[in-house]
Structure 1
């Protein structure tokens, strides 16, 4: 019950938070521009709330799949802004700096970003991968048994609405030749079709499959469904539910040999660490 309430709270956090930060940033900039004298508290409010508004668009524009280092810029700006607003403690800039800036960024980093996933006994190393059914771009069923006889990596991503997932998808596709060289078939699984993924697949050298778990039945079978995981306001997602980002590597007989089940969506599965692990222990 508590986990369900927390998931619902997270669903309604990020978009309203960004809107409030946008309003506060515009208001603080206006106060700085129109004031007769320079205001340190309003400067602090602007510094505290504005970086998060820059960071989110950059996720869509730049390949920031390794996004965690950039979070420290937001944390640093929020702390600096908070220090400036408390110099004079004017009510509104203090509210912006301490609550929206410092409080909001810390809430995003240390609460919202975590996936609250517990131990998953279905996906333990050495266990057979549970059977599930996906679909291809034409809507035809593809059962997991179709991949038996060859080493396979299944990468489940949250959806094309997620900027980190979009970059992650591109990262795996660009590394597909390395998977093929090691005799591993790469299967990327999303909740809904991705035009970007289909376009990348058509590029020369991409050796992978992109399949879909449209009703999240596979995610439920594997215990990686993320209920209310799509932020409120993402209208182009077909469902409020999505999948927990996961990487599953199985051998020719369908036994799980390696997993990457991150606790934080900002640190989702990446091809580099898996390929390195494959060389060391998973062949």
Structure 2
């Protein structure tokens, strides 16, 4: 719950800090200590703007440029304001340094799973999904090799970008006899909107009440940023997860995300399929 509230507050404070700084600079000029605040707030704000406007599926683990912007901005605010505890310096340090550190090293990372269900070599446990309003058992989806992806929802730009990456590789996956199954707890209308933007015949499934994510040990309680419930999303979300099953349901690859910003390259999936048999054992 704290993470849910934090990330919404962090984004809001970054935007407000950047806008307010811009207003102050317009009145006082570039010699204003608010210049440093603008630089510090610009780091995280530009990251989120870039994530929502460009197809970015992953980032570096530690995102050093954002932290550098925070430190430089705070230093400028202190220097131009001649006061360590001035308002510009406090906002710069709060958003650009403290806020960014929390985002990078706390919010982005998942706690160790309470139970590990998915691992290479085991059989995929049985669970149910919904497709176009019809209940489907996972056992009905393991007759042929499959790449499974749990994604958080349309609200997560990295998830959407990752799906588009897989869609771009669909022909190569299909040539290897692999079906792609995308799973999210979001409403069917949201999923249909996403599917209409993806030019590949992948199967979009709904995980009602996150039952499958809970069964597989990839459920994150209160993982949705606070306030986004008004858009119809559930407060609980799956952590981004990708696994591949051979025909028959045995796992030959599994990536359980420890950091939602660090995701496997799509070429990794093809490499796994090329070096491991995918026919039923």
Once the two structures are superposed, residues 193-217 of structure 1 have per-residue CA deviations (whole angstroms, 9 ceiling, x without a partner) of 323432145x3xx232111102111
Task: Work out the CA distance in 2 between the residues paired with 1:242 and 1:160.
Answer: 12
Question: C-alpha root-mean-square deviation of aligned residues, in Å?
Answer: 2.0
Task: Work out the CA distance in 2 between the residues paired with 1:118 and 1:258.
Answer: 18
Q: Which residue of 1 aligns with 2:223?
A: 229
Secondary structure of 2:179's aligned partner: strand
Once the two structures are superposed, residues 94-146 of structure 1 have per-residue CA deviations (whole angstroms, 9 ceiling, x without a partner) of 1011111111111111111011133743112221111010011x210111111
Secondary structure of 2:136's aligned partner: strand
1:13 and 2:3 equivalent?
A: no
TM-score scaled by length of structure 1: 0.89
Q: Which residue of 2 aligns with 1:123?
A: 118
Is residue 170–residue 197 contact of structure 1 (8 Å, CA) maintained in 2?
no
Secondary structure of 2:160's aligned partner: helix
Point out 4+ residue stretches in structure 1 off by more than 6 angstroms.
none
Count of aligned positions: 271
Secondary structure of 2:231's aligned partner: coil
Secondary structure of 1:215's aligned partner: helix
Q: Which moved more, 1:106-115 or 1:83-92?
A: 83-92
1:38 to 21, 31, 36: 31
Secondary structure of 1:188's aligned partner: strand
Once the two structures are superposed, residues 44-101 of structure 1 have per-residue CA deviations (whole angstroms, 9 ceiling, x without a partner) of 1110012322221221211111333893332221121122223222510110111111
Task: Work out the CA distance in 2 between the residues paired with 1:90 and 1:15.
Answer: 25
Q: Which residue of 1 aligns with 2:56?
A: 64
Unpaired runs of 5+ in structure 2? none
1:250 to 242, 245, 248: 245
Q: How does 1:79-90 map to 2 (within 5 A)?
A: 79-87=71-79, 88=82, 89=84
CA spacing shift, 1:218–1:245, aligned 2, 3 Å: same
Task: Work out the CA distance in 2 between the residues paired with 1:129 and 1:224.
Answer: 14
CA spacing shift, 1:70–1:223, aligned 2, 3 Å: closer
1:143 and 2:140 equivalent?
A: no
Task: Work out the CA distance in 2 between the residues paired with 1:85 and 1:191.
Answer: 44
> How far has the Cα of 1:268 moved from its partner?
2.9
1:77 to 69, 82, 107: 69
Is residue 21–residue 49 contact of structure 1 (8 Å, CA) maintained in 2?
yes
CA spacing shift, 1:191–1:163, aligned 2, 3 Å: same
TM-score scaled by length of structure 2: 0.89
Q: Which moved more, 1:192-201 or 1:122-131?
A: 192-201
> How far has the Cα of 1:172 moved from its partner?
1.3
Is residue 61–residue 262 contact of structure 2 (8 Å, CA) maintained in 1?
no
Task: Work out the CA distance in 2 between the residues paired with 1:21 and 1:145.
Answer: 46
Q: Which moved more, 1:119-128 or 1:107-116?
A: 119-128
Is residue 197–residue 210 contact of structure 1 (8 Å, CA) maintained in 2?
no
CA spacing shift, 1:14–1:282, aligned 2, 3 Å: farther
Q: Which residue of 1 aligns with 2:192?
A: 195
Unpaired runs of 5+ in structure 1? 1-7
Q: Which residue of 1 aligns with 2:150?
A: 156
